[in-house]
Chains A and B, each alone.
Chain A
């Protein structure tokens, strides 16, 4: 007899539990006492140990289902047992008599007997968007297994059955070229990587007329595809909040001038505003660890390193080279590393490690006269700072309402609200204001 897997009762007064996730699936080998699923009671989340060693079969409740305690949620098949050994009765919904629901058949097969389906098959079909009338039944009723087989058949039909080498398939994937459109130069028309490379080069030509409008169709480059996927993922998954502050850059500009007098004597490159900005941001990140973090679903990583990415326009698209360990660097060192990275980004010579490991990003569009803008967070980071232009404008500078013309910079922070509360973002921005309006505070 297969061993029934019963939803255990963990608390005295517990009536039900919610399945958070199965870590094993049907057909998996499971060991006695091994954790196979996690459930949540009203109090805690608990890993449920397996009652026996064998093969996990007929999972009756899936992730998210609320299950009364002592209910059978699955079976463990012992050695030599098969699905046929499972009891017939134990299907989920009220089990006194298995409910059988007729399914409308297409008119094309009128002579066929009306096909019925089990409740679990019906539920599964509904969830997966499967038209049950198209699912062939292996027995007298459409079962869950029939629906699963139908879904997996549909998926496997998506495979491109073109003779192509593995390398050609990879190049096609990366360059977004449809393999079936490429003429293969190999034996029996096999597509080789060189064929895909040639095809990718020749693609931008077509101007198509979709609904009468002409457009030049540009295939996605691998980098464009990556940007598209990451930006979409970020904007859909992480709830963005945006906060803006204005900073009087008088002191920052003075400090930079003093630095430049010094570095020029040493024959070093002039310090840019961005380098100074990065230094102040690093200082503020150390003071606000949740700004330098990643969201993991069940936890948050507060990164020990402060690695700041700087969004840089490069011929091939946006690149974000990363300055590592910035909190330990002086402004002059930051400046030199930044110049090196920017130059290599323009020449397309960045290495993989140059663009990895970022914990925070700065994006600057000030040079285009953009006063302020909201940037999309660069995952898995949790925040990005959008730097606008510095504009000389009159502001009130003291309590006597004296007005002076000052260089004012606008900074907008986009933050992942799952990790960063508004008040945390506000504190970070106010630290930035302090650091930029009085750079000597960094010495404190």
Chain B
């Protein structure tokens, strides 16, 4: 199977879907000649032309509003928000318009658009270009929030996102862009709202998203050599959240840790934990249920401080050891 990077996998999904469906088009800042801030749309202007790869003014509200209008008229727009941090400028369009139209018009219309947005820290881009705002977007019914961790999931979920009739926030992670993995050339989709057990284990369930999945798997592989078996669950879609897979897992392992880069306070770990402790898995919980989120501070520019602001492998390992060893 061909190996692609996370970035190439998303580009391949866009490319193939634009070939397959002429309603699909791209819009965003600098996505044409420049190929996008991370080069994700590189080459697409030459292939598909200015009609289908549209450069926009620097106005996120305009980008999302244009995508909404186009989708109402039967197109399948895929908009790029250069950094996830800027989605806040378009939040009114996203939340008060896109998320609600299907319901306020009695189901007679829908907004089948995808808004791509790279988030996350680790690139030295400082506070205004490094946030993980997926927990914010999860709070709005009517939206779908997708958050892939591997190239394979990124392509399959992007194809599902474009074909889904709802507005989708497709949250990418800029540090994952260069990670590689096997990606089939074919057209395949991954269902929205279905979590995946990335690694089975009997001792503790760790739920993590995007880059934290990769970090947790590294830790799990290390601990496995000592006989500690960590089950790693990647929700893949945060809204709707597949709580069943998580609840079933905790009922087996009796322990739960949720890891995310988003700030801990108000982060989606709280949502996962509340779902689990209120479920029948409660009677199987045998240790405190814990979360490990980003520190409640703006992401610093300083390299060392930036690393310290979000969970790293050492901290994940420490948390797992403490929970499994009965030390917390």
Contacts and interface: CB of A to CB of B under 8 A. Distances in A.
Interface in A280-298: none
Given A192-B286, A193-B286, A167 B254 contact: yes
A168 interface: yes
Contacts of B328: 187
Nearest to A186: B326
A394 to B, nearest CB: 61
A166 B282 contact: yes
Interface in A150-193: 165-170, 185-187, 192-193
Contacts of B286: 165-168, 192-194
A contact patch SS? helix
Nearest to A184: B326
B287 interface: yes
Given A167-B254, A193-B254, A185 B326 contact: yes
A194 B282 CA distance: 16
B283 interface: yes
Interface string B282-316: 11111100000000000000000000000000000
B20 interface: no
A186 B323 CA distance: 10
A167 B326 contact: no
B108 interface: no
A187 B285 contact: no
Contacts of B287: 165, 186, 192
Contacts of B282: 166
Contact of A187 (B283, B284, B326): B326
Interface residues of A, number: 12
B: contact size bracket: 10 to 19
B225 interface: no
Contacts of A170: 283-284
A165 B285 contact: yes
B95 to A, nearest CB: 30
A167 B327 CA distance: 17
- Residue from B282, B287, B328 having most chain A Cβ neighbours under 10 A: B287
A246 to B, nearest CB: 50
Interface in A315-331: none
A169 B254 CA distance: 13
Nearest to B277: A166
Nearest to A170: B283
Interface in B142-163: none
A168 B328 CA distance: 16
Interface string B34-67: 0000000000000000000000000000000000
Nearest to B251: A167
Nearest to B282: A166
Contacts of B285: 165-167
A189 to B, nearest CB: 11
Contacts of B284: 166-167, 170
Nearest to B286: A167
A187 B327 contact: yes
Nearest to B283: A170
Interface in A349-391: none
A187 B282 CA distance: 19
A165 B287 CA distance: 6
Interface in A200-247: none
A187 B327 CA distance: 6
A198 to B, nearest CB: 14
Contacts of A165: 285-287
A167 B283 CA distance: 5
B326 A166 contact: no
- Residue from B254, B285, B286, B328 having most chain A Cβ neighbours under 10 A: B286
A166 B286 CA distance: 6
A165 to B, nearest CB: 5
B34 to A, nearest CB: 55
A166 B276 CA distance: 12
A168 B283 CA distance: 8
A154 B286 CA distance: 29
B297 to A, nearest CB: 29
B280 to A, nearest CB: 10
A126 to B, nearest CB: 38
Interface in A117-173: 165-170
Contacts of A193: 254, 286
A193 B327 CA distance: 15
Nearest to A194: B286
A189 B71 CA distance: 60
A362 to B, nearest CB: 34
A141 to B, nearest CB: 41
Contacts of B326: 185-187, 192
A193 B286 CA distance: 7
A169 B285 CA distance: 10
Contacts of B327: 187
Contacts of A186: 287, 326
Contacts of A167: 254, 283-286
A248 B254 CA distance: 58
Interface string B254-266: 1000000000000
A174 to B, nearest CB: 10
A68 B327 CA distance: 65
B325 to A, nearest CB: 10
B271 to A, nearest CB: 19
B177 to A, nearest CB: 41
Nearest to A192: B286
A192 B327 CA distance: 12
A277 B283 CA distance: 43
- Residue from A166, A169, A186, A192 having most chain B Cβ neighbours under 10 A: A166
A280 to B, nearest CB: 42
A197 B287 CA distance: 16
Contacts of A187: 326-328
B322 to A, nearest CB: 9
A165 B277 CA distance: 12
Contacts of A192: 286-287, 326
Contacts of A168: 286
Nearest to B322: A187
A169 B286 CA distance: 10
B259 to A, nearest CB: 21
A186 B286 CA distance: 10
Contacts of B254: 167, 193
B57 to A, nearest CB: 50
A194 to B, nearest CB: 8
Given A166-B284, A170-B283, 15 more contacts: A165-B286, A166-B282, A166-B283, A166-B286, A167-B283, A167-B284, A167-B285, A167-B286, A186-B287, A186-B326, A187-B326, A187-B327, A192-B286, A193-B254, A193-B286
Interface of B: 254, 282-287, 326-328
Nearest 5 A/B pairs, CB to CB: A170-B283, A167-B286, A166-B285, A165-B286, A166-B282
9 contacts: A165-B285, A165-B286, A165-B287, A166-B285, A167-B254, A167-B285, A187-B326, A187-B327, A192-B326
